[in-house]
Amino acid sequence: MRGERKIRTRFAPSPTGYLHIGNARTALFNFLFARHHNGSFILRIEDTDRQRSTLEFEKSIFKNLKWLGIDWDKSPGAEYLYRQSERLDIYFNLAEKLLKEGKAYRCYCTEERLHELRKKQMSMGMPPRYDGKCRSLAEEAKDTHYVVRFRVPEKTIILEDMVHKKIIFDSRLFGDFIIINSDGIATYNFAAVIDDSMMEITHVIRGDDHLPNTPRQILLFEALGLKLPKYAHIPLILGNDSSPISKRHGSASIMELQAEGFLPEAIINHLCHLGWSPGREFFSIKEAIEMFSIEKLSRSPSVFDIERLRKFNIKYIEKSDTDELIRMSRHYFSKDIPEERLKTLIEASKSEVTTLRDLPHILKPFLKEPVIEEDAMKVIAEPCAKKVLEALMEEVVEETSLTDSVYPDIIKRLKGMTGEKGKNLFMPIRAALTGMTKGLGLEKVFHLLGKEEVLKRVRKALAINTFFLP
Ligand code: GLU
């Protein structure tokens, strides 16, 4: 498109915590939008809060984004990313410019005065805001302890939001706000505006919680004579009890979801459904890029539903390449297990687990001789177990090997021989062979254990049965 700027979006996390569902969705939508339009997606670290920002959080955010498959481009004029703490001079100098132009002023009010002012305004039912006491003080700085406030012009601000459409704000409702703190460090609104401009950001997609900042940022863009990006504010994510998503609703951080055995594809899919209607249930990140459109973003809050995520995870694990699943779950298994054996085991179980973390549990009986769990022990000790296991022994001895195809025949014959069916027939077999009462389909159990191991475990179970029922 001739004359139009190349689309450029950004994700601007504050490294004061781990990447969670909410900001991962913001990153994802900015990424999808940029990639859909062949634009760039860049990363900016908003670490001006020096007390709460840490390098550890910063690193974990990079790691989680990469794990999710969200990659970013080089920032213009920066090697890898923008880090606001390295740009403090730029913000300070632009604040000086606004001071010279009379668009900002130094404010010497003490914390105590501001506190009293807030208290008084609130007791009168008014919104707390700065009363402009230092607005018309003489220019010269008389004290080194001051903040720089933006002189808010009285006006109506119209935001043409891409999601909410037109929103009108009245600047009289907010007082002159701080752009440089008393430690010389720019505030979020000031630094964000300067960076959005210098990074040539064309579209800002962010949560509705930033809506109160947007009119302030628009005023700053205007005062600095900078070009405004387009805004799209996306609704908050709620838990299934309609309150904003938090730890109470289960794992809200990407790191925890990864540790719980969710696949990045499943998380991406669920995030896509939070506020966007892709019109399809299952898709890859590549397909999401093709389908993404801001027009399809919703204005109403969306619900993070861990059960829905589980449902997606089941599907994505089932569809995943086994080698890929081994790569992601190798740490659950001992190094001694040969790769080929692990591949057979994971291949057999990938359609029967919800998360990767279920794999070591469901595969336990095939990795070493199982310790018989309590409920399985009860099943083995029942009188009908003896009949079923003895019949099974007779049948298996006759087979040369336990391929998948012999299983239905063995079961059919066992029904005839014992007169048992359903739970009474299957439970003793499962309990004897796996030491558990739940797990992989019995057909797979037979196949994965093989004839000799099946016979060995049945013999052991019969001995236990005899011990309980001599
Ligand atoms: N650092 C802000 C946050 O984490 C980003 C705000 C923005 O996108 O402008 O919420």
Residue nearest to atom 10 of ligand 1 (CA): 13
- Residue 284 belongs to some domain of the structure: no
- Residue 363 has what pLDDT? 97
Print the domain residue range for 423: 369-468
**Given the residues 119, 247, 296, 438, the one annotated as active site:** 247
- CA 203, chain centre distance (Å): 22
158 & 24 share domain: no
CB 207 within 8 Å of CB 236: yes
In a domain, 138, yes or no: yes
User: Are the CB atoms for 304 and 21 separated by under 8 Å?
Assistant: yes
Residues 103, 132 share a domain = yes
State which ligand 1 atom lies nearest to the alpha carbon of 204: 8
Q: Using only the alpha carbons of the chain, give its radius of gyration.
A: 31
pTM of the model: 0.91
- The answer to whether residue 174 sits within a structural domain is yes
- Closest ligand 1 atom to 217 CA: 9
Alpha-carbon gap, residue 161 to 234, rounded angstroms? 10
Q: Are residues 173 and 102 in the same domain?
A: yes
Phi and psi, residue 10, nearest 5°: -145, 160
Q: How far apart are CA 171 and CA 218, in angstroms?
A: 11
Is residue 387 part of the annotated active site? The answer reads no
| Residue 334 domain-assigned (yes or no) | no
Burial label, 308 (beta-carbon count in 10 A; 0-12, 13-18, 19+): middle
Give the CATH number, domain containing residue 208: 3.40.50.620
Are residues 49 and 124 both part of a single domain?
Answer: no
Predicted local distance difference test score (pLDDT) of residue 201: 95
Alpha helices in 21-166, H assignment, sequence order: 21-36, 55-68, 88-100, 111-123
The CATH number covering residue 451 comes to 1.10.10.350
Q: Answer yes or no: is the C-beta of 192 below 6 A from any ligand 1 atom.
A: yes
Predicted pLDDT at 3: 52
The pLDDT assigned to 406 comes to 87
Residues 6+ away with beta carbon under 8 Å from 324: none
- Ligand 1 centroid – CA 86 distance (Å): 17
CA atoms within 13 A on the CB side of 207: 18
With the C-alpha atoms ordered 239, 242, 245, 247, is the resulting torsion angle positive or negative? negative
| Cα-to-centroid distance, 365 and ligand 1 (Å) | 48
Q: What is the pLDDT of residue 80?
A: 63
Q: What tokens does 76 get?
A: 């213009």
Indicate whether 216 and 71 sit together in one domain: yes
Residue 207 beta carbon below 6 angstroms from any ligand 1 atom: no
Structure tokens at 316: 């994505």
Q: What's the gap in Å between 204 CA and the centre of ligand 1?
A: 10
The CATH number linked to 125 is: 3.90.800.10
Go through the chain and tell me how many residues it has: 470
Q: Which atom of ligand 1 is nearest to the CA of 23?
A: 4
Pocket of ligand 1 contains residue 16 by CB under 6 Å: no
* Residue 384 and residue 438 share a domain: yes
Domain boundary among 218, 235, 252: 235
Inter-residue contact 136 to 176 (CB < 8 Å):
no
Measured CA to CA, the distance from residue 439 to residue 437 in angstroms comes to 7
Backbone angles phi, psi at 440, to 5 degrees: -65, 155
Q: Is 175 helix (H, G, I), strand (E, B) or coil?
A: coil
Residues 149 and 228 in one domain: no
- Backbone phi and psi for residue 363, each to the nearest 5 degrees, phi listed first: -95, -5
Residue 434 lies in a domain: yes
Q: Is the CB of 210 under 6 A from ligand 1?
A: yes
Identify whether 314 is part of a domain.
no
Query: What confidence score (pLDDT) does residue 45 get?
Result: 95
Q: Is 92 helix (H, G, I), strand (E, B) or coil?
A: helix
Q: Are residues 426 and 393 in the same domain?
A: yes
Within-domain flag for 431: yes
Which residue's alpha carbon is at the smallest distance from atom 3 of ligand 1? 13
Q: Number of folded domains in the chain?
A: 3
Task: For the chain, 470 residues long, give each residue's pLDDT as a single digit of tens.
Answer: 445 679 999 999 999 999 999 999 999 999 999 999 999 999 999 999 989 999 999 999 999 999 999 999 987 666 667 899 999 999 999 999 999 999 999 999 999 999 999 999 999 998 899 999 999 887 666 667 899 999 999 999 999 999 999 999 999 988 999 999 999 999 999 999 999 999 999 999 999 999 999 999 999 999 999 999 999 999 999 988 888 887 677 668 999 999 999 999 999 999 999 999 898 889 999 999 999 999 999 999 999 999 999 999 999 999 999 999 999 999 999 999 999 999 999 999 999 999 999 999 999 999 998 899 999 999 999 989 999 999 999 999 888 888 878 899 999 999 999 999 999 999 999 999 999 999 999 999 999 999 999 999 999 999 998 887 76
Residues 28 and 157 in one domain: no
> Is the residue at 304 inside a domain?
no
Pocket test for ligand 1, best of 26, 33, 46, 237 (most atoms within 8 A of CB): 46
3-state class of 405 per DSSP?
Answer: coil
Token couple for 463: 């001995």
> Does the beta carbon of 43 lie inside 6 Å of ligand 1?
no
DSSP sequence for 313-358: HHHHHHHS-HHHHHHHHGGGS-TTS-HHHHHHHHHHHTTS-SSTTH
